[in-house]
Amino acid sequence: MKLAALFTGGKDSCYALWKAQKYHEHKVVCLITIASKNQESYLYHTPNISLTKYQAKAIGIPIILQKTKGVKEKEIKDLKKSLIKAKKEYKIEGVITGAIASVYQATRIQKVCQELKLWCFNPLWQKKQDEYLREIVNEGFEIYISAVAAHPFTKEWLGKKITKKDAEQLIKWEKEYGLNPAGEGGEYETFTTNAPCFKHPLTIKIEYKLFEGNSGRIVIEVLDT
């Protein structure tokens, strides 16, 4: 089956893409990135979203870039536009998402897929977050924290590459602070520089960090594609 992958450049969309390729033998014919002007988008990942074009090049799959103003409940229309384009240009029959626990996200994407008669494939849905986080690190994914928005994160976590030790710390914080280990509550966002689905890694430079309270984000420059 020909599929499009909704792609943010973070760990979840990369892992969902790889799972679809490795275990389900589907052909992913394009990536779709929705770039929101609203950094507080209810539906879409926003940190360093413009860099997905470099990740797509490293993966070796063409990408559709769709802009949205990020207005709540209206931003789904821009996703629909991109899926219509993917159906026309790449003859897709389904869509891969990296949704794990967000009912808000999953139901809205599912509704658009139903309207367009596309299969909606959620390979990570309801996966235990502690197991998932350990798995993704053990599988060789190189992921960096690109944004944080919760206690007890500090500025030092911004730009940190998640190691096995860091994964265990995040899992520990679930018991101590109620933090979602995989960041499903919006506690943190990530940027992927290498994964089994990449043909080669990306080299990045952190331009600067913006941090206040327990919230912040980094701006990334891709140095080598």
Cα gap 188→154, rounded to integer Å: 11
Mean pLDDT, to the nearest integer, of 25-46?
Answer: 82
- Residue 40's pLDDT is 67
CATH 1.20.120.1200 given to domain 2-121? no
Q: In what order do the strands lie in the sheet with 203-212?
A: 188-194, 142-149, 215-224, 203-212
pLDDT digit string, tens, across residues 142-193: 999 999 999 999 999 999 999 999 999 999 999 999 999 999 888 999 999 9
Dihedral-angle region of residue 178 (phi above 0 means left; psi in -120 to 50 means alpha; beta otherwise): left
| Fold agreement (2-121, 139-224) | no
ω into 152 cis (within 30 of 0)? yes
Pick the CATH number of 139-224 from 3.40.1360.10, 3.55.50.30, 1.10.3720.10, 3.90.1490.10: 3.90.1490.10
pTM: 0.93
**Closest listed residue to residue 29, CA positions, set 50, 55, 59, 66:** 59
pLDDT digit string, tens, across residues 79-114: 999 999 999 999 999 999 999 988 888 899 999 999
Give the domain ranges of the chain.
2-121, 139-224
CA distances for 137 relative to 132, 182, 202, angstroms: 9, 12, 17
